[in-house]
A and B are shown apart, each in its own frame.
Chain A
Amino acid sequence: EAGVTQSPTHLIKTRGQQVTLRCSPISGHTSVYWYQQALGLGLQFLLWYDEGEERNRGNFPPRFSGRQFPNYSSELNVNALELEDSALYLCASSSERVPGNTIYFGEGSWLTVV
C-alpha cells in the first residue's frame, strides 16, 4: 500500500512568487493535513481538510491556502512568498477507521525562497 506522496520534493522560488504543493493521501484516508517545519521553529499546523472541506486552520496568514479534491488529494498554495516561508512542508493523512486519530506523513516538499 502506498504511503502519503508529495510533489515536488524540492523547489526554489523567488520572493513574491507563488507556489503550489501537492499531496496524495493513503488510499482510503479522507483527511489531509499540512504542516510547516521551519528551521528553529519546529512543526507548525497549517491546515486540515476532510471530505473536501477546510476543517481547521493554524495561525498562518491568508496567503497560505489550499483545497482538497474529490479524490481526497490536496494542494497547498502559498502566494507572495517571503524568505521566511523557506521550510519543509509536510503533508499527512488519516482515516476515521484508524483509532486514535493517527496521522501518517509523507516525505515532504522542501521549499527554498531566495
Chain B
Amino acid sequence: AQTVTQSQPEMSVQEAETVTLSCTYDTSENNYYLFWYKQPPSRQMILVIRQEAYKQQNATENRFSVNFQKAAKSFSLKISDSQLGDTAMYFCAFMNAGNNRKLIWGLGTSLAVNP
C-alpha cells in the first residue's frame, strides 16, 4: 500500500528566510503524481505545486520549489522569501497515475512564519 510520511509535525521560519518541508513516500508504482497542498486557518485546501514522476525536472511555482528524488522516494518543498501569509498546514500527497484518482495524504506540517 502507498504511504506518505511527513516527519516534521511543526516548523517555524523567520519572515524572508527559506524553509524546507520534508516528505517521503512509499510505492511500487513507477508512474504517479505528487502534490503539496496548503491549508491555512480558513481550512480551504490550496494547491501549492505538482510534480509528475516521469519528469526529472523539479517543479517550481514562484517562491515554491520541490526537490524530487525518485530513487529515494523523497519530495521536499522549499519556500523561499517566506511571507506571513505562508503560515499554514502543509500536506504532501501522492496519487497513482492509474485510474483510481485517490490522493494519499501525509499528516501535515504546521508551518509558522514569524515576523
Which residues from chain A sit less than 8 Å from chain B, CB to CB?
Answer: 31, 33, 35, 42-43, 45, 48, 55-56, 58, 88, 90, 92, 94, 99-108, 110
Q: For B45, what are the chain A residues with a Cβ–Cβ distance below 8 Å?
A: 90, 92, 105, 108
Contact present for B101 and A108 (CB under 8 Å): no
Instruction: Knowing A90-B45, A105-B46 are in contact, say whether A43-B91 is a contact too (CB < 8 A).
Output: yes
Q: Which of the four size classes fits the interface of chain B?
A: 20 to 34
Instruction: Knowing A45-B103, A55-B101 are in contact, say whether A101-B95 is a contact too (CB < 8 A).
Output: yes
Complex partner residue of B50 from A55, A90, A100, A110, CB under 8 angstroms: A100
Q: For A55, what are the chain B residues with a Cβ–Cβ distance below 8 Å?
A: 99-101
Complex partner residue of A45 from B44, B47, B102, B108, CB under 8 angstroms: B102
Instruction: Knowing A55-B101, A56-B100 are in contact, say whether A106-B107 is a contact too (CB < 8 A).
Output: no
B105 at the A interface (CB under 8 A): yes
Complex partner residue of B103 from A43, A100, A107, A108, CB under 8 angstroms: A43
- A33–B106 Cα distance when bound, in Å, is 18
Count of CB-CB pairs between chains A and B under 8 Å: 58
Contact with A along B83-105 (1 / 0, CB 8 A): 00000000101010101111111
Which residues from chain B sit less than 8 Å from chain A, CB to CB?
Answer: 33, 35, 37, 42-47, 50, 52, 91, 93, 95, 97, 99-108
Question: How would you classify the secondary structure of chain A's contact residues: helix, strand, loop or mixed?
Answer: strand
Query: In the complex, how many angstroms separate the beta carbon of A59 from the nearest chain B beta carbon?
Result: 10
Instruction: Knowing A90-B45, A107-B43, A108-B43 are in contact, say whether A100-B33 is a contact too (CB < 8 A).
Output: yes
Q: For B50, what are the chain A residues with a Cβ–Cβ distance below 8 Å?
A: 100, 102
Complex partner residue of B47 from A31, A48, A102, CB under 8 angstroms: A102
